A and B are shown apart, each in its own frame.
Chain A
Amino acid sequence: MFGEYAALLVAAVLVNNFVLVQFLGLCPFMGVSNKLDTAIGMSAATTFVLTLASVCSFLTYEYLLTPLDLTYLRTLSFILVIAVVVQFTEMVVRKTSPLLHRVLGVYLPLITTNCAVLGVALLNINQAHNFMQSLFYGLGAALGFSLVLVLFAAMRERLVVADIPEPFQGAAIGMITAGLASLAFMGFAGLV
């Protein structure tokens, strides 16, 4: 059983990394990875949202939609759940760190439309996870997102001061680096 959850985690973090392998959640990935501090803040916020949303979505599906035979409403209700969780997170962030709140700016409410969050919720249903599996899957997805975001932010901090030819400066070199990182993550295929 422990092995099963460990495998689930490794799969979500490395083998099927949500950002670099499944290409979900690219918007905050490119948008908030300029500085390491904001990237860490963003990954903390996203981890909180992802795990909570994954669990709440599962519970909503299991105890509201399935008994009432309304499973076709899952996309709509998941979006509703995610929106509420994000709003809640925004309030908490605003209270605890106004600077992080200002810095994350529009990307915080945009976690609502982050396809990674909705993706986790829907994939939980597709893969028929139970409660614990949903929890670990959401956690794994969040950890994978955080890992990649932090690594990428560290790289971008160095890129910004390096001697890059003008046509490549800014977002262009960021995209190329992300592509190379994605190629690197393909090396994990077959691990689990």
Chain B
Amino acid sequence: MLDLLMDSPILLALTAIVGMGVVFGSLLGFASVKFEVEGNPLSDQINSILPQTQCGQCGYPGCRPYAEAIADGDAINKCPPGGEDTIQALANLLDVEPEPLDAEHGTEKEPLVAYIREAECIGCTKCIQACPVDAILGAAKAMHTVIADECTGCDLCVEPCPVDCIDMVPRKTGIRHWSWPLPNPDNPPLVIASDRPVGEAA
């Protein structure tokens, strides 16, 4: 048989190539079993960047499903509560171009928390069941109140309330939440390390 191969160059060439293919193929097959990878740790990293409001504005039922979708290749600009900062962080992690927030899924608003107007609350527990992080304290026929520190501002509690007594109010107001803005070229600071001209307040 070897003579047959040696006589016919074409046959020899074919055998050589096919032979190499078989050898390498089995090598790769063995390697793919040995280097098996479980799960998708990337989606964990993506989930840790998302804001965890579990609001569903991205179209997925929560932040983890969206994280897994991004790991599979979905767009990164669907999260309004995360806003531009989250898009930028995801872009850095995944080394893709950051895109502006997809308006179809909502607009970036300032951080909000829910506030129950207690005079109107009827104690029906519908908002408690709706809250994805259990941030509402209360029981049936008892007063309900939002624990502001735990509230993510997802506003899933607003709809179920039958008496519409829940308001979304800004979370960061007042002097303690003020932060320095970037210098404005049209209205520059007036002294070396000072901040603003007289007359311009926060």
Contact = CB atoms under 8 A, between A and B. Distances in A.
Report if A and B touch in the complex (beta carbons < 8 A): yes
Interface of A: 34-35, 38, 60, 64-65, 68-70, 73, 76-77, 80-81, 84, 87-88, 91-92, 94-95, 98-99, 102-103, 105
Interface string B79-121: 0000000000000111100000000000000000000000000
Interface in B1-18: 9, 12-13, 16-17
A84 B12 contact: no
Contacts of A64: 16, 20
Interface stretch (B27-35, B126-134, B135-143, B162-170): B27-35
A87 B43 CA distance: 23
A160 to B, nearest CB: 11
A99 B46 CA distance: 10
Contacts of A65: 16
Give chain B's interface secondary structure class.
Answer: helix
Contact of B35 (A34, A35, A95): A95
Nearest to A80: B20
A95 B34 CA distance: 10
B92 to A, nearest CB: 8
3 shortest interchain CB distances as A-B pairs: A91-B35, A84-B24, A103-B95
Contacts of B32: 91
A68 B31 contact: no
Contacts of A81: 20, 24
Contacts of A87: 28, 31
A70 B41 CA distance: 46
Interface of B: 9, 12-13, 16-17, 20-21, 24, 27-28, 31-32, 35-37, 40-42, 45, 71, 92-95
A88 B24 CA distance: 10
A40 B40 CA distance: 23
Contacts of A88: 27-28, 31
Contacts of B28: 84, 87-88
Interface of A (DSSP majority class): helix
A94 B40 CA distance: 10
Contacts of A76: 17
A65 B13 CA distance: 9
B40 A98 contact: yes
Given A70-B12, A84-B28, A102 B35 contact: no
A93 to B, nearest CB: 10
A160 B94 CA distance: 17
Contacts of A99: 41-42, 45, 93
Contacts of B24: 80-81, 84
Given A80-B24, A84-B24, A102 B71 contact: yes
